[in-house]
Amino acid sequence: MEFSLIGMWQSMSPLAKGVSIILITMSIVSLYFFIERQMYFRKAKSRSKEVAPKLAEMLKLGQVKEALALATKKENHPSHLARITAAGIAEFLSGKESGLGLEEQIETASRGCERAQSIYNQELKKGLSIVATIATSAPFIGLFGTISGIINAFKGMALTGSGGIGAVASGIAEALVTTAFGIGVAVIALWVYNLLNARIEVMDAEMSNTASQVIDFFVKKQAK
């Protein structure tokens, strides 16, 4: 047996090759979601950084409808802060049109912000459950390759009638490679999951802060 990637691949059993292909696919999926989510988060942060100060200034000046128009523009849709602001203002104005009291309008706006935050939070978590599943299942999938390698090692012993290293080297190498591969894929997926989850928690906190600021604006308006 040649101890190179090509040599080990050629000596692997069909089961071990199938396990390796599955693990490679899982690692590609993990990296895809990491890159795709990072791009999504970056776009949301970029748009929010540009539009949030403008919305805050408009609300400060009492330009509620103008702020709603800005927050609901198509180019500002990726902004998580714009969407929370838009939801709060829209519900506040809807309550006003329905003849609700100012206090009830504020409560409606608060619920609107919460709903928008919940919906957007689910969008942020796209693919996260898949990455978590990969992180937990990859080591067990690697065990299939381990079992296949051990079986091959025993086959080598049976064919040669010897328990020497030459008879079992191929099977043992196969078992170790698939085990290591499964653990490696799991570690990558776990890192991806934790990094993405940390970014989501930051953005969730930003949305909560924005919702609080929008409601505070309406409360101050009530006090005047």
- The amino acid that residue 203 corresponds to is M
Rounded distance between C-alpha atoms, residue 186 and residue 205, angstroms: 28
Res 1: pLDDT: 47
Segments in the chain below pLDDT 50 = 1-2, 167
Task: Give the closest residue to 139 by CA, choosing from 191, 187, 195, 194.
Answer: 187
30 contacts 185 by C-beta, under 8 angstroms: yes
| Distances, alpha carbon 128 to alpha carbons 22, 116, 125, 194, in Å | 19, 20, 5, 10
Q: Each residue of 18-46: b (16+ CB within 10 Å) or e?
A: ebbebbeebbebbeebbeebeebbeebbe
Q: How big is the chain by its Cα radius of gyration, in Å? A: 28
Res 62: pLDDT: 84
Res 222: pLDDT: 60
pTM: 0.80
